[in-house]
Structure 1
Amino acid sequence: MKWNIDPTHSQAEFSVRHMFTKVRGHIVVASGVVDVDESDPTKAVIVARLDPSTVNTGVPVRDDHLRSLDFFDIQRYPEIVFHSTAVSQTAADHYAVVGVLSMHGIDRPVTLQARAGGDGIDPFGNRRAGVSARTTVNRKDFGLNWNRVLESGGLLVGDEIDINLEIEAVLDQVARDTAA
Structure 2
Amino acid sequence: MATWTIDASHSEVQFKVRHLMISTVTGTFGSYEGTVETTNDTDFEGASIKFSADVDSISTGQEQRDGHLKSADFFDAANFPKISFASTSFEKVDDENYTLKGDLTMRGVTKSVTLKAEFGGVMTDFYGQTKAGFEIAGKVNRQDFGLTWSAVTEAGGVVVSDDVKLVLNIQVVKG
Interval of TM-score (by shorter of Structure 1 and Structure 2): over 0.9
For 1:15, give the aligned amino acid.
Answer: K
Instruction: Give the deviation of 1:42 after TM superposition.
Output: 2.2
Matching residue of 1:176: none
Contact 1:33 1:46 in 2 (8 A): yes
* 1:67-106 aligned within 5 A: 67-106=70-109
User: Does structure 1 conserve the Cα–Cα contact (< 8 Å) formed by 2:31 and 2:57?
Assistant: no
Residue segments in structure 2 that go unaligned for 5+ positions in a row: none
Root mean square deviation, CA, Å: 1.3
In 2, Cα distance between the equivalents of 1:9 and 1:124?
Answer: 15
Q: Deviations for 1:58-80, whole angstroms, at most 9, x for unmatched residues?
A: 11111111111111111111111
1:1-180 aligned within 5 A: 1-19=2-20, 20-28=22-30, 30-38=32-40, 41-172=44-175
TM-superposed deviation, 1:100: 0.4
Displacement after TM superposition at 1:40 (Å): 5.4
| Mapped contact 1:80–1:104 kept (Cα < 8 A) | yes
Do the aligned residues in 1 keep the contact of 2:30 with 2:59 (CA within 8 Å)?
Answer: no
Task: Check the 8 A contact 1:85/1:99 in 2, yes or no.
Answer: yes
Q: Secondary structure at the match of 1:102?
A: strand
Aligned residues: 172
Q: Which runs of 5+ in 1 are unaligned?
A: 173-180
Q: Residue type matched to 1:59 in 2?
A: Q
More strand by percentage: 1
For residues 30 and 87 of structure 1, the distance between their equivalents in structure 2, rounded to whole angstroms, comes to: 20
The Cα shift of 1:37 comes to: 2.0
Bigger shift: 88-97 or 34-43? Answer: 34-43
Aligned to 1:178: none
With normalisation by structure 1, the TM-score equals 0.91
Letter paired with 1:5: I
Q: Which amino acid aligns with 1:127?
A: T
**Residue 18 of structure 1: CA displacement?**
0.6
Determine the C-alpha separation between the residues in 2 that align with 1:156 and 1:60.
18
Question: What TM-score results when the alignment is normalised by the length of structure 2?
Answer: 0.93
Identity of aligned residues (%): 38
In 2: Cα distance, 1:80 partner to 1:59 partner: 21
Q: Deviations over 1:100-132 (max 9, x none)?
A: 001110000111100111111111221111111
Question: In 1, are the aligned partners of 2:96 and 2:119 still within 8 Å (CA)?
Answer: yes
- Find the residue that maps to 2:69 and give its secondary structure: helix
